[in-house]
Amino acid sequence: MSVNLTLLVVMGVLYAVGVYLLLERSLTRVLLGLMLLTNGTNLLILHAGGVPGFAPLYDGSIAAEDYSDPLPQALILTAIVISLAVTAFLLGMIYRSWVLGRRDEIQDDVEDRRVARQSSYDVEDDAEVPAETTEFEESPRGEGPGEGLGEDLGEDLETPGLPGPRREGAR
């Protein structure tokens, strides 16, 4: 596989300028940067497709390895359609911004600044959970739940359902 150095340099320049323009606050520059990035990506896909060959139409006299792969071209056509739609959307945003504010720069939002200054600590989500999470109070007579109840009911705790030993004075 041969590497076309000119194509790689052009692709690198398109990516560099496109990223630089995307980092601006002007929507027009963002649009231009996005268009440069999509064209650089199309060149990357075309270059990754390999050496050009014959059209992918069947002819019995042409060997199978001499055909070009149609998949990169189909991907590029899809990318062109998507970039056209995104460009139309950004043009609409630029127009609306120009009509409303007579400029196409992205402003800082007051609410975004307030949210950025907030602490990331959330009382409900980040508080320590206590070891005891039951809503019921502990038994006042015993150490744990169920202790001390069997003596009052006169039941044998080892064999449930049978009467336990009787204490003096109890019925």
The tens digit of pLDDT for each residue in 42-56 reads: 999 988 887 777 777
Please name the residue that has the structure tokens 């630089």: 20
How far apart, in whole angstroms, are the C-alpha atoms of residue 107 and residue 72?
39
Mean pLDDT of 57-64: 80
Q: How far is CA 94 from CA 19, 47, 159, in A?
A: 19, 33, 82
Can you tell me whether residue 5 is helix, strand or coil? helix
Residue ranges of domains in the chain = 5-55+68-107
Mean pLDDT of 28-57: 88
**Whole-prediction pTM value?**
0.59
Mean pLDDT of 6-28: 93
pLDDT of residue 124: 76
In whole numbers, what is the pLDDT of the chain averaged over residues?
Answer: 81
pLDDT of residue 145: 54
Residue 143 has pLDDT above 70, yes or no: no
How far apart, in whole angstroms, are the C-alpha atoms of residue 129 and residue 133?
8
Residue 91 has pLDDT above 90, yes or no: yes
Share of the chain above pLDDT 90, in %: 34
What single letter denotes the amino acid at residue 29? R
Residue 151 has pLDDT above 60, yes or no: no
Class of domain 5-55+68-107: mainly alpha
More confident residue, 58 or 43: 43
pLDDT of residue 155: 52
